[in-house]
Amino acid sequence: MRVKRHKNHRRILRFFRLTFGIQEPYHVLVDGTFLTHALQQRVHVKEQLPKMLEGRTTPMTTGCILAELRSLGDRALGAVVVSKGYYRVKCGHDENPVGASQCIREQIGKTNARRFFVATQDPDLRLQLRSVPGVPLIRLNGPVPQLEEPSESTRRLAKEGEERKRGPSDWEKPKLPELKAKEVLKEALAAKPKAKRKKKGPAVSPNPKP
């Protein structure tokens, strides 16, 4: 089972690398729901994420994620301590923190230009992020980190990109009518039946002997 899971993770990572240019070191936004679940399952996130992704990984947080964890009081104290050890992304909400899920959505934007992974146990947030092409999602299944399959919006964008590669380039498009006409002429000439040559009979002498 573990071997199959690793193969799936490699396949998914390869897809995101080739299609969206996501490279090491992998930047993973880790929210409070993921951290809390990880602590309950005794999962060391900093150790397990690089193992799962088989590469250099930087767990990240934001001021809004920390603020939300602190608002939960003692029950989230462990998650606060762990999160403080992560790289903090400047989210621009220092003066007026917003909810963690809103903050993460704003960091991702419409295109995930900063190539973030998102680690979350929040089903609503995962659903919202799956509508954004090119966002790799990580969740915990019990104590096991799992990289989710690419979303429908992600696959659709990848397919459109492949179709554009197969189509004519911008400089070729103006020449298409001319190329098409040449192709039609070539096909017509190839289909035209060739004239049969008459077979020559035996040579006849102009002055036959008596």
* Interatomic CA distance for residues 117 and 108, integer angstroms: 9
Query: Are the CB atoms for 146 and 117 separated by under 8 Å?
Result: no
Residue 164, pLDDT > 80, answer no
**N-to-C CA span, the chain:** 104
Closest CA to 145 of 47, 52, 10, 36: 52
How does pLDDT run across 121-160, given as a tens digit for each residue?
A: 999 999 999 999 999 999 999 999 999 999 999 999 988 8
And the tokens for 25? 């070191």
Residue 205, pLDDT > 60, answer no
Query: What is 2-150's CATH topology?
Result: Rossmann fold (3.40.50)
Residue 170, pLDDT > 60, answer no
To the question of pTM greater than 0.85 for the whole model, the response is: no
How does pLDDT run across 51-90, given as a tens digit for each residue?
A: 999 999 999 999 999 999 999 999 999 999 999 999 999 9
